Amino acid sequence: MYKIPRRTILNKLKNYHFKEPGLPPASTVEEENSFSECIQHMSDFGFPLDEFYLRVIVRSYLNLIGRQVKIFKRNLPGHEWLLGFMKRHPELSVRFAANIKRTRAAINEQTLRDFVRNLGEIVKDVPQRIFGTLMNQI
């Protein structure tokens, strides 16, 4: 009735087709979780990342560890990868950054030192290669 070959049905019944459809992910679950945590920490400290910078950070990380992903042009993840990443990490969201007043944006040396010290404490559990890549981009 549906013109499905008999062999296809038998293979499905014998569970020969156990792989998920589509391409395998470009990074491991641990790497993606580290990216997600890093994005959240950066946002908590007032440095939200937009979509482009997230893609650049992932490219820098891939280049740093020497991994070439063939489906990425020049090892830069595309918009489709970003959509999948956001779907796999629903705790992240895309928002527009609001401007802040000059008095709130005013910063002195001690505030900056405290920020760097606090950031070091928070990201001590993030793998060094990801944090180092992120800090090189800033």
**pLDDT tens readout for residues 114-125:** 888 887 777 777
- In sequence order, which residues have a C-beta less than 8 Å from that of residue 68 and are 6 or more positions away? 62, 75
Distance CA 59, CA 53 (A): 10
- SS3 state at 76: strand
* Per-residue pLDDT band at 76 (split at 50, 70, 90): very high
Query: In this structure, what DSSP letter does residue 96 have?
Result: P
Q: Are 72 and 59 in contact (CB under 8 A)?
A: yes
- Please state, in angstroms and rounded to a whole number, the distance separating the CA atoms of residues 99 and 48: 12
**Distance separating alpha carbons of residues 105 and 26, to the nearest angstrom:** 38
Q: What pLDDT digit, counting tens, does each position of 84-114 carry?
A: 999 999 988 876 556 666 666 677 888 888 8
Residue 29 has pLDDT above 80, yes or no: yes
